[in-house]
Amino acid sequence: MTELRSDMSALPYLESADSVIRKSLTWIKQQCVGGKGVSNEKLDEHQMASFDLAWCAAESTAARFAAEYARKAAAATGDGVCLEERMARVFCAEALQNIHNRLRARPQSFGLNDADLADLDSSALSRFCQTQLDAGNLEALGREVIALNGASGAYLLDDHATMMQDTFRKLATNVVMPLAEEIHREDRIIPPEILDPLTEMGCFGLSIPERYGGLQSDDHEDNMGMIVVTEELSRGSLGAAGSLITRPEILSRALLKGGTEEQRQKWLPQVALGDPLCAIAVTEPDTGSDVAAMRLKASKCDGGWILDGVKTWCTMAGKAGLLLVLARSNPDRSLGHRGLSMFLVEKDSYEGHDFEYRQA
């Protein structure tokens, strides 16, 4: 068994991938350095390579975390090759295969040569990926997960997080799932049957510190509760329940990071109570969520700001009584994201998707 674990470990291959990624990052940085640091114009010339390399780095990091999590799960359960470890191997194999394919397709774009990619081209790594990604191996894992009623192994949560997981799993199963199909098929707004219990359980205050009426500790940031709740509600339905938690999280983090204390004192306690519900207006037609390309114009006027433009795909926009709106406060679009500001916009709450609000 020791020999099997050593032979099938993804860590040596991930270390090789990280080494290649670091070498390429160093090369691209050298190509993009201008007079005052990284030049946007030069970076644009290496946009495709930078994009692919960012994916490589993200996948490698995620795979390393998965492997470490599996190691802890194996130690906690005493299982030599537990379900978590076998699933982590598959994840790592897919990440390594993706990294190899991106870098090997055009190595010169990444400042690499055949010698740099030798470890990623090795027969040992190829054998590891083929073994883990074999259809028979994936089917066997799938059958085991099905037999466990969808469980994917130990969560390694503390007692508090486990209690939250159990509570919201019941809510997702008993309340969200029976309503999810109707909500999606008939394009309904989120009904009180879902909103009311979430409000009563304090879900909208998961990312808000206790001093502002939320459930987050004032002493340290702990996102595990929010993650567990979001995961369980999303298991019932992402659109009907899971996405509800991310709206107050985004707004509260923005306020805590860049808002004034007066704004925090006014809005965070209300958001924590779910009154008003909030929405995040970022996406725009033609630009999607490309933040640097936002066009919605914010102009200073007597007593405040005028927002002029269009947003789209704003979840809960009608029902919400408070919008966090991303707008361009500096008309110089060459500034990219540095010319943007976020605004809190109060509005009436409407039952439905469409609404028209005219400020008095």
User: In the predicted model, what is the mean pLDDT of residues 30-59?
Assistant: 90
Q: Tell how strand 278-281 and strand 33-34 pair up.
A: unpaired
User: In the predicted model, what is the mean pLDDT of residues 238-257?
Assistant: 92
User: In the predicted model, what is the mean pLDDT of residues 264-286?
Assistant: 94
Residue 5 pLDDT > 60, yes or no?
no
Query: What was the pLDDT predicted at 41?
Result: 85
User: In the predicted model, what is the mean pLDDT of residues 226-236?
Assistant: 92
Query: What was the pLDDT predicted at 335?
Result: 76
Query: What was the pLDDT predicted at 222?
Result: 81
Instruction: Tell which wins on pLDDT, 266 or 3.
Output: 266
Q: What pLDDT band is residue 133 in, cutting at 50, 70 and 90?
A: very high
Distance CA 326, CA 125 (A): 45
User: In the predicted model, what is the mean pLDDT of residues 183-194?
Assistant: 91
Query: What was the pLDDT predicted at 3?
Result: 31
User: In the predicted model, what is the mean pLDDT of residues 239-256?
Assistant: 92
Q: Which of 148-157, 259-268, 295-304 is modeled with the greatest confidence?
A: 259-268
Token pair recorded at residue 200: 């009563």
Distance CA 67, CA 217 (A): 30
Query: What was the pLDDT predicted at 6?
Result: 37
Query: What was the pLDDT predicted at 358?
Result: 73
Alpha-carbon torsion, ordered 75, 80, 82, 84, to 10 deg: 50
User: In the predicted model, what is the mean pLDDT of residues 109-133?
Assistant: 95
Residue 81 pLDDT > 70, yes or no?
no
Token pair recorded at residue 265: 């004192």
Q: Are 157 and 165 in contact (CB under 8 A)?
A: yes
pLDDT tens readout for residues 204-213: 999 999 999 9
Average per-residue pLDDT for the chain: 89
Q: What pLDDT band is residue 4 in, cutting at 50, 70 and 90?
A: very low
Residue 115 pLDDT > 60, yes or no?
yes
Residue 333 pLDDT > 80, yes or no?
no
Distance CA 78, CA 85 (A): 12
Residue 170 pLDDT > 60, yes or no?
yes
Alpha-carbon torsion, ordered 118, 123, 128, 129, to 10 deg: 70
User: In the predicted model, what is the mean pLDDT of residues 134-148?
Assistant: 92
Query: What was the pLDDT predicted at 154?
Result: 73
Q: Which amino acid is at 210?
A: E
User: In the predicted model, what is the mean pLDDT of residues 32-54?
Assistant: 88
Where do the domains of the chain lie, and which CATH numbers do they carry?
2-147 (1.20.140), 159-272 (1.10.540.10), 281-346 (2.40.110.10)
Cross-strand partners of 114: none
Q: Are 145 and 129 in contact (CB under 8 A)?
A: no
Query: What was the pLDDT predicted at 7?
Result: 43
Query: What was the pLDDT predicted at 355?
Result: 74
Q: What does the DSSP 8-state code read for residue 207? A: T
Residue 8 pLDDT > 70, yes or no?
no
Distance CA 306, CA 327 (A): 10
Query: What was the pLDDT predicted at 332?
Result: 82
The percent of residues in the chain predicted with pLDDT above 70, rounded, is 96
Query: What was the pLDDT predicted at 80?
Result: 60
Query: What was the pLDDT predicted at 88?
Result: 93
Query: What was the pLDDT predicted at 280?
Result: 94
Q: What would you report as the CA-atom Rg of the chain, rounded to the nearest whole angstrom?
A: 24
